[in-house]
Each structure stands twice: as structure tokens, then as C-alpha cells.
Amino acid sequence: MQKTIDLLKKSNELTIIKKNVDIYLEIPHLAYAEVKKADGGKALLFTHPVDSKSGKVFDVPVLMNIFGSYKRCELLFGRPIESVADEITKLLHMKPPSGLKEKFSMLGDLFSLKDIFPKRLKYEGACQKIKYLNDDIDLYKLPILTTWEGV
């Protein structure tokens, strides 16, 4: 995730908000207002999300609008967004090959699927350094956003 944040910063596609901002309606509203700008606005990184109802300050940042513009999508995918859409369309409409020649011509398309499934690694990544298991699991430790009043 840090690489993505660094890429967005370098490309001037990220606004970092260091003030305490409420997960109840406030963060979602700011993200909505930003993405509605003519160019899709910028991605927003809230470094101090808070829950005004409980007074809790989360140590987990919230990153919003990461795919909120064509420019950011192209930046993150590393290629024009239309090529991504074309590839997805081609894969969705793939038909079984009828002959040997079609089988060989499909190899390139099938090769593009090689990374579609998660990889099991023998080591733990940075995201797995802190683990909560069994009775220690508490989803309220995460800044779960509320976008609609009364929900």
C-alpha cells in the first residue's frame, strides 16, 4: 500500500488530511465531494479517522477515491484504462477453441490469467505482522465508515 501512496504523492494525485475527521458521515461526504469534481478530484488519505460517537481515534488510516479518475486508474494500472476494459471484455466473452490453431492462439489470453489467483508465500508480508485470532478479533478496531444517516 505504501508504494501506491508514494506513487499517488509523486503524481500529485493525493491529498493527505492530517486532522481528526469523523468516520460517521464526514469522511464519506468529503470523499464524495472530491470525486464529483470535474477531473475526479484527488485520492484522499485520512491519517486520523475518529469515531465521534465513541470518541475513539483509530490508528488505521483511510484511503479514499483511489480509482476515482481515469488518470489515477491509468497511473495505477500502468496502461490506458481502455486496454484494461478491452482485456476484461475479451476474457468475459472467451469461447472454447474449436481447433488446434485456435487453441494455440488462445495461449496468450490464458497466459494473462496466470496471476489471477492469490499466491501463497512461505513468509509473512508486512500486512500480516499484527494478527488477531479467535477472541481477539474485533472489527470495531477498524474505521468502518457510515455514509448514510441512521444506518
Nearest residue to 57 (alpha-carbon basis) of 95, 93, 18, 84: 18
Q: Is the pLDDT reported for residue 26 higher than 90?
A: yes
Q: Is the pLDDT reported for residue 151 higher than 70?
A: no
Please state the rounded mean pLDDT for residues 7-11. 96
Rounded Cα gap, residues 88 and 142, in angstroms: 32
pLDDT of residue 132: 85
Cell of 67: 480509482
Q: Which residues contact 4 (CB under 8 A, 6 or more apart)?
A: 66, 76
Q: Each residue of 87-111: pLDDT tens digit?
A: 888 888 878 878 888 777 777 777 7
Q: Each residue of 111-150: pLDDT tens digit?
A: 777 777 887 777 777 777 888 889 999 888 889 898 888 7
pLDDT of residue 35: 95
Cell of 143: 474505521
User: Cα separations (Å) of 59 from 64, 76, 103, 113?
Assistant: 16, 25, 51, 36
Rounded Cα gap, residues 102 and 98, in angstroms: 6
**Residue with grid cell 486496454, as numbered in its chain:** 83
Query: What are the start-end ranges of the E strands in the chain?
Result: 14-22, 43-51, 56-57, 62-64
Rounded Cα gap, residues 85 and 146, in angstroms: 31
Rounded Cα gap, residues 150 and 22, in angstroms: 15
Q: Each residue of 105-116: pLDDT tens digit?
A: 777 777 777 777
Q: Each residue of 51-85: pLDDT tens digit?
A: 998 889 898 999 999 999 999 999 999 999 998 88
